[in-house]
Structure 1
Amino acid sequence: MFAMVSDIAHYPDFLPWVIALRIRSESEEEAVADMIVGFKGLRESFSCRVHKQRPSDVSVSYIDGPMRHLSNEWHFEPTEEGCCRVDFMVDFSFRSRVFETLAGQMFDKALRKMIAAFEARADELYGVAA
């Protein structure tokens, strides 16, 4: 699961609203990327730093773009059944009141759609756990 989440280059392949992604730099511990997201004719780009601590943590810190701030964290913990428990946290706010209002109205639905996209990607890459 760590490998899937930290493989940001493939986000446009499966994540809704991610139109394009350009990796500026990448190492085992860190990546810096520019992402273009779009929804219903609105498009925005932003830059972020992805911190990778294999195999347990991925965190994203905001560099610049339309947000006031953005951070998210992924924590991975193996289970006794040979599966992986995933904890995810996201915190953000937009500079634009229009985006903030849209995000507030749609946050729960959008988050569920993104989680479903990650779950479908995991099923595609690793198969469904028995």
Structure 2
Amino acid sequence: MVGDVERYPDFIPWITRLHAYNHQVAGEGETRFDADISVGFKMLQEKFSTRVTRAAPGLTVDMNLIRGPFKEMDGRWTFTAAEGGTRIDFDMDMAFKNPVLNALFKANFNIAVNRLIAIFEHRARQLYGEGAA
């Protein structure tokens, strides 16, 4: 579900458009592609491009900035077997080039991350049942 990036516009409300292209096999159990993403929050509309790498052997999904309004944007989902299920870690480093947007983003970062995690938990319950999240 996390690696199915092409479906993000179906359930992440602020992703208004996503175009995936340049699909490649990057190694055994590893695929890579680029994605142009449009996001919208009320008056703010932005577009950016990322390189997504899905690595089955390491159970990771990485997103790295290609271009856009960010000074930096790198994210990683990591899945680790744990007693009774799977531990999921999400790490994200982001900073906007625009200092005003960056200050606004920093002030709301925890709210945004918590909202994103809640969206993925809701999607997991929709796809896999109540015990999935």
Identify which of 19, 22, 25 aligns with 1:25.
22
Check conservation: 1:73, 1:88, Cα contact below 8 A.
Answer: yes
Structure 1 runs of 4+ aligned residues shifted over 3 Å read none
C-alpha separation in 2, matches of 1:105 and 1:47: 24
The match for 2:42 is 40
Q: TM-score, normalised by structure 1?
A: 0.90
The match for 1:103 is 105
Higher strand share: 2
**How many pairs were matched up?**
126
Write the deviation string for residues 42-96 of structure 1: whole angstroms up to 9, x where unpaired: 1000000011111511111110000001000111012232x21101100011001
Q: Matched residues, percent identical?
A: 39
Q: CA deviation at 1:126?
A: 1.1
> SS at 2:35's partner residue?
strand
Specify every segment of 5 or more residues in structure 1 that has no aligned partner in the other structure, as ranges: none
Q: TM-score, normalised by structure 2?
A: 0.88
C-alpha separation in 2, matches of 1:64 and 1:43: 15
Say which is worse superposed, 33-42 or 97-106, in terms of deviation: 97-106
CA RMSD of aligned residues (A): 1.4
Check conservation: 1:34, 1:45, Cα contact below 8 A.
Answer: yes
Counterpart amino acid of 2:15? V
Larger RCO, structure (CA 8 Å, separation 6 or more): 1
